[in-house]
Amino acid sequence: MAQIKENLARISNQIEEACRRSGRSNDVQIVAVTKSVSVERTKEAVEFGLLHLGENRPEGIQRKVEEIGNSVKWHFIGSLQSRKVKDIIDQIDYLHSLERISLAKEIQKRASRVVDCFVQVNVSGEESKHGLMPDEVIPFIKELREFDKIRIIGLMTMAPNSDDENTLRSVFKGLKSLQEEVASLQLPHAPCTECSMGMSNDYEIAVEEGATFVRIGTALVGDESGESL
């Protein structure tokens, strides 16, 4: 239990330093990715003040919502099949993976309230990555103006699994630039003020390049399928 507390203190300090280096205020929200840990460890994370939790499978988020409830903010960070929308859409606070109109239509049909969504962008262009190409993002967001159950609060990307800092920075800079371009359009349904980018191995670089939501799992809560605490 103490290890999560130590991890959180270290990561919080590193984020604070990254904000200082980049000359920005610390408005970064840590999303604790609990997909690889038990309900028990997730509860420990909540006890230490981690109130934004991320899951990538409908079954996982349903089980944990049942056990933990809605005293926390639930983030769905995985690819969401349209047929699964009805099972989780009223249990989540944020969706980080909106990338197609068919999914938007299902959210519009099934949600009982407005859902804060990030449009997923494949900035790196890797075939293995989900998401829209950068030049598809603005037309897609404009197409969502009639969907009153969807609010586009930002963009999300996943960087390549690389140790090359220049590559990582290029991807994060690309998302930040695109986010600012969307925000400048001042679309009522898409304020697009946020950037969800950065994970356990690259969150400091992501923060330096403008991340406002970082999704951290292993470095924060560990991985009980391959223990790393």
Residue 227 has pLDDT above 60, yes or no: no
pLDDT digits (tens, 9 = 90+) for 172-211: 999 999 999 999 999 999 999 999 999 999 999 999 999 9
23 occurs within a structural domain: yes
User: Which residues, including other chains, have CB under 8 Å from residue 81's CB and lie 6 or more apart?
Assistant: none
Distance between CA atoms of 48 and 44, rounded to whole angstroms?
Answer: 7
189 occurs within a structural domain: yes
| Percent of the chain whose predicted confidence (pLDDT) is above 90 | 92
Note down the domain range covering 70: 2-221
227 occurs within a structural domain: no
pLDDT digits (tens, 9 = 90+) for 118-149: 999 999 988 888 999 999 999 999 999 999 99
Domain count, the chain: 1
Q: What is the CATH number of the domain that holds 26?
A: 3.20.20.10
229 occurs within a structural domain: no
| Percent of the chain whose predicted confidence (pLDDT) is above 70 | 97
Give the per-residue pLDDT at 228.
40
Burial class (CB in 10 A: 0-12, 13-18, 19+), 180: middle
Average pLDDT over the chain reads: 95
Q: Which amino acid is at 44?
A: E
Residue 225 has pLDDT above 80, yes or no: no
Which run of H or E residues covers position 156?
strand 150-156
228 occurs within a structural domain: no
Distance between CA atoms of 181 and 166, rounded to whole angstroms?
Answer: 22
Average pLDDT over residues 102-129: 96
CB 5 within 8 A of CB 26: no
